[in-house]
Chains A and B, each alone.
Chain A
């Protein structure tokens, strides 16, 4: 048995048209490779698309490749991910399934209040596949709580479980604040757990479980992912041995410039020297600037000129991140931290001195309000009840 495990293609992501094109190109390359490798079937563990309704041009190219797989008698099994799932049930994935191009393996029935998942059997290999979709905020964890595990665990044969979630015991430090759940949440006795959602690569056997694998994205999905991962990839699994197939479209060169106590002219000069020395042909360049300028403001740096010089040297695309670049010239809120929680707290702190609250602790109050308003609507909860619950919780905090 030989199959491909793909996840987090995020087709349709990136606003920049050049990079948007790379996301779908990566998918096309991956499918070409699976056909070339003559895999028995392809698994997509969530987030094929970046939204439930991807742009038509992207969809067209996706359908073409899925059709090619079908023509080569390679079935595609998938689950929805946190990006391409739609609570209304209207998602392009349904269209693909109805067209016979792919099969959603997240199927089941409710028996005595428990979720009994059904297996989809691959006709060629006899592999039995099932799984649970991913939702925003790890809301699918409740499905696992209601899962009829016995029926899944007692099933014989070669079993594959698809999931789209971050697992606590396996998450690296950079994912510390991301919603996750324990490995034990997954049912036991599957041979392969095809994971998606976190954008890092991992393949590991844990306890009584088979191999738990994350492929990482097919193409980096953000500035920092481009810096860190450089390129995406997927797994080809044969006889329980997984091989990572990298999808390299362009080399990525990442520049990080410390602008502390420098003036815009100095930075511009440094960048020019950098560009002159570097071989940039066909590369993606990421430029991250940080620090506090000695004088002037970030807009004094002539980025257009810099970008033009980079393009002249044949670079494929240039991305700039100057969110951590500040200036002394303006009295503004200065944030030295990168994480969302820290950012929120720093902003609250900055504002306290400007707008004092008499009788309440403003930090605690703001944090509690943010936390409460961040609540998601629960499964089965009506909009009315959800609003009522939120109002009650907010009132409780304010009184």
Chain B
């Protein structure tokens, strides 16, 4: 294995190595250094020029080249002009084990490329969630990176990235990997209707498509379901995060629910009497809640007949929420196409499902059945809409509750965002796995660095330089902040062979001509 450089100075946080002349190092590249008795996995965090020639002479020589056209030539050029690399120690490896690094690599010891053998400590965990290949700089190393899916999903995932850096590709890859896994059920609130793949490659093309359930309000593909939710399934607290209620409005909703039970929405919009309690509320309060309910639920009340124009209906849709929860408990991936809805409706739908799910899983914990259940993860695009500081200042919602306590009940979130800085620090810290894609804005990078599971204080530049499909995983469940290369979703689909044996078609009972 060729030597790439020599360690020459620095301190524990910043090991400095001189790069060998014909070698080329990249930011993020992984290298192996040596201590007296083990190997140290190092990563390049910065690169800089160095020269034995004084700055004054360099300026003079370059001036002669620019102004007079004189060629730049040095005696023993390789010795006098070179690059330095700033390295950080990631872990110490010893055969199949790895520990956090607490020592410096040996002074003046060589550094070299990593080999597969150096990485033998990276093994496939139980319930693997595949995330891609290990990456050294911009090169993929043929080592699969997978984390324990049960741990990772229940302790929440954050996927921060600037637009175009591959958030959708990564999410598609994760979902594809999870479809046939029995350890997890995934709920995707899909505001761009991109993951099922109506018009392009998507989860519909998975060999185990029967483990994908797709709900859409309009024109579902054959075999998929129309999203219809009976308004009798809605409870006042489902609106937390979806609608802003003043304290009197909130109290009025509770009163209606207490008096009319499942028919409370109909009671509000049809101006049904709360009897004695009505006098506690001003007409304006009742009018506002009626107007808001009519608007969010897309209902029409002409004084005589209540019509449902949207997905919230009076007939049918009785079992939708329970069907979705049951599918998730059967380790299915459920995609809800919310592309036709305004933000508040999307949040209401998410809140309805998530609340019921968390309620069920809390019950399972109580009855001791939880260990038999798959972990459930809820994928939230543009997460600050429900987990943002501004939103949570108005009160908690089901998603902030899950972020805080969901892991105890095997319910987790995957929050996808361009603006992680809008999410409160407390919630960011609870997201125990972060799959960081390229982020150009410094405040957003800082928010991630400040809440990462590993020390990323030297990785600001590294994160900024992440190209499309490159990521860094920082997680409580990985030994070090792991650079990965995410495969292209279309390639993953192509590589997945249809392994399910095809049953012979038989059409008994149909009279054949």
A and B associate in one complex: yes
Interface string of B314-352 (1 = CB under 8 A from A): 011111101100000000000000000000000000000
In whole angstroms, what is the CA distance A169 to B226 when docked?
Answer: 7
Decide: A184 and B225 in contact? CB cutoff 8 A: yes
A144-B222, A176-B319, A184-B226 known, 17 other contacts, Cβ within 8 Å? A85-B509, A89-B509, A109-B513, A110-B505, A118-B513, A145-B222, A168-B323, A169-B226, A169-B320, A172-B319, A182-B223, A182-B225, A184-B225, A185-B222, A379-B504, A379-B507, A380-B505
Decide: B319 and A175 in contact? CB cutoff 8 A: yes
* CB of A26, distance to nearest CB on chain B (Å): 26
Chain B CB within 8 A of A287 CB: no
Decide: A89 and B316 in contact? CB cutoff 8 A: no
Query: For residue A123, which residues in chain B have a CB less than 8 angstroms away from its CB?
Result: none
Query: For residue B505, which residues in chain A have a CB less than 8 angstroms away from its CB?
Result: 110, 113, 146, 379-380
Decide: A363 and B372 in contact? CB cutoff 8 A: yes
Chain A CB within 8 A of B36 CB: no
Interface string of B153-185 (1 = CB under 8 A from A): 000000000000000000000000000000000
Query: For residue A305, which residues in chain B have a CB less than 8 angstroms away from its CB?
Result: none
Query: For residue B503, which residues in chain A have a CB less than 8 angstroms away from its CB?
Result: 378-381
In whole angstroms, what is the CA distance A66 to B513 when docked?
Answer: 25
From B6-14, B141-149, B213-221, B391-399, the one touching the partner chain is B213-221
Chain B CB within 8 A of A373 CB: no
A-B contact pairs, 18 of them (CB 8 A): A87-B509, A107-B512, A109-B512, A113-B505, A115-B510, A133-B509, A140-B509, A144-B223, A168-B225, A169-B316, A181-B223, A182-B220, A182-B223, A183-B226, A184-B222, A184-B224, A363-B369, A379-B506
Query: For residue B317, which residues in chain A have a CB less than 8 angstroms away from its CB?
Result: 169
Chain A CB within 8 A of B508 CB: yes
Interface string of A242-253 (1 = CB under 8 A from B): 000000000000
Decide: B226 and A108 in contact? CB cutoff 8 A: no
If over half of B's interface residues share one DSSP class (helix, strand or loop), that class is named, otherwise mixed; here it is loop
Chain B CB within 8 A of A106 CB: yes
Decide: A184 and B221 in contact? CB cutoff 8 A: yes
In whole angstroms, what is the CA distance A104 to B222 when docked?
Answer: 25
A residues within 8 Å of B by Cβ? Answer: 80, 85, 87, 89, 104, 106-110, 113, 115, 117-118, 132-133, 135, 140, 143-147, 149, 168-173, 175-176, 181-185, 202, 204, 206-208, 361, 363-364, 378-381
* CB of A166, distance to nearest CB on chain B (Å): 10
In whole angstroms, what is the CA distance A168 to B230 when docked?
Answer: 13
Which residues in window 365-382 of B have CB below 8 A to A?
A: 369, 372
* CB of B86, distance to nearest CB on chain A (Å): 53
Which residues in window 224-275 of B have CB below 8 A to A?
A: 224-226, 228
Query: For residue A144, which residues in chain B have a CB less than 8 angstroms away from its CB?
Result: 222-223
Chain A CB within 8 A of B511 CB: yes
Query: For residue A378, which residues in chain B have a CB less than 8 angstroms away from its CB?
Result: 503
Decide: B226 and A173 in contact? CB cutoff 8 A: no
Query: For residue B226, which residues in chain A have a CB less than 8 angstroms away from its CB?
Result: 169, 182-184, 206-207
In whole angstroms, what is the CA distance A171 to B513 when docked?
Answer: 34
Query: For residue A379, which residues in chain B have a CB less than 8 angstroms away from its CB?
Result: 503-508
In whole angstroms, what is the CA distance A330 to B162 when docked?
Answer: 69
Q: Check A183/B225 contact, CB under 8 A, given A108-B507, A379-B506.
A: yes
Query: For residue B507, which residues in chain A have a CB less than 8 angstroms away from its CB?
Result: 108, 110, 115, 143, 146, 379
In whole angstroms, what is the CA distance A85 to B507 when docked?
Answer: 13
Query: For residue A183, which residues in chain B have a CB less than 8 angstroms away from its CB?
Result: 220, 225-226
Please tell me which one of the listed residues A118, A135, A175 contacts residue B509 in the complex, with CB atoms under 8 A apart. A135
In whole angstroms, what is the CA distance A182 to B213 when docked?
Answer: 10
Q: Which 10 A-B pairs rank lowest in CB-CB distance, beginning with the nearest? A: A380-B504, A380-B506, A184-B220, A379-B506, A182-B225, A107-B511, A133-B509, A176-B319, A170-B316, A173-B318
